[in-house]
Amino acid sequence: MTTICIIDTSIFCNILGVPNRAQRQQQALAELKEFLEQGATLLLPLATIFETGNHIAQNGDGRMRRLVAEKFVKQVGQAFSGEAPWTPTPMQNIDEIMVWLEEFPDCAMREMGFGDLSILKVFENQCALHTSRRVLIWSYDQHLRIYDQPPSI
């Protein structure tokens, strides 16, 4: 079975070449190629989309911001239209978000932001739905890269 790979902001910023956020771009592109060759399912959480957009707006000179913003728009648009190698995760409903809000103070004490909490929830959901597949959060952030669920036999 193929891997389900949840893309974190640290990875998407590197893939897009966001100024001051793409120190590992060649590594990210090589890993992306490997995942694609393996037939992995790549999921793009909404938190990753929002956070990457914020990083684009806050980094680089005006020309670079424009170039990267246009690349971002193209890639995210293609994700929503089914033309990109990654698929956006569905919007959460209010009840789910209310549960997350209850958990957030404890996460904040562990220095986990709300965006990362939402990515963790995508991971937990995918693990529950796909027990026979490897599910991982593809991240360069140590606190997220530890989430890697092997397939159950």
Helix (H) or strand (E) holding 85: none
Q: What is the mean pLDDT of residues 115-138?
A: 96
In-domain check, residue 10: yes
State yes or no: pLDDT of 1 exceeds 80: no
Percent above pLDDT 90 for the chain: 90
- What pTM did the predictor assign? 0.93
What is the CATH classification number for the domain harbouring 69? 3.40.50
Confirm whether 104 is domain-assigned: no
Would you say residue 135 lies in a domain?
A: yes
**How many structural domains are present in the chain?**
1
- pLDDT value, residue 152: 86
38 falls within a domain = yes
> What pLDDT, on a 0 to 100 scale, did the predictor assign at position 55?
95
pLDDT tens-place string over residues 54-109: 999 998 788 999 999 999 999 999 999 999 999 999 888 899 999 999 999 999 99
Assigned domain for 111 exists: no
**pLDDT at site 102:** 95
Q: At what angle do helices 46-58 and 114-129 cross, to 10 degrees?
A: 150
Q: How far apart are CA 48 and CA 59, in angstroms?
A: 16
Question: What is the greatest pairwise CA distance in the chain?
Answer: 51
pLDDT band at 128 (very low <50, low <70, confident <90, very high): very high
Please state, in angstroms and rounded to a whole number, the distance separating the CA atoms of residues 36 and 21: 23
Q: What is the C-alpha separation between 31 and 53, in angstroms, rounded?
A: 22
* pLDDT at residue 24 is higher than 90: yes
Q: Which domain holds residue 15?
A: 4-90+119-149
Considering the domain boundaries, does residue 106 fall inside one?
no
Mean pLDDT of 14-19: 96
- Please give the mean pLDDT across all residues of the chain: 94
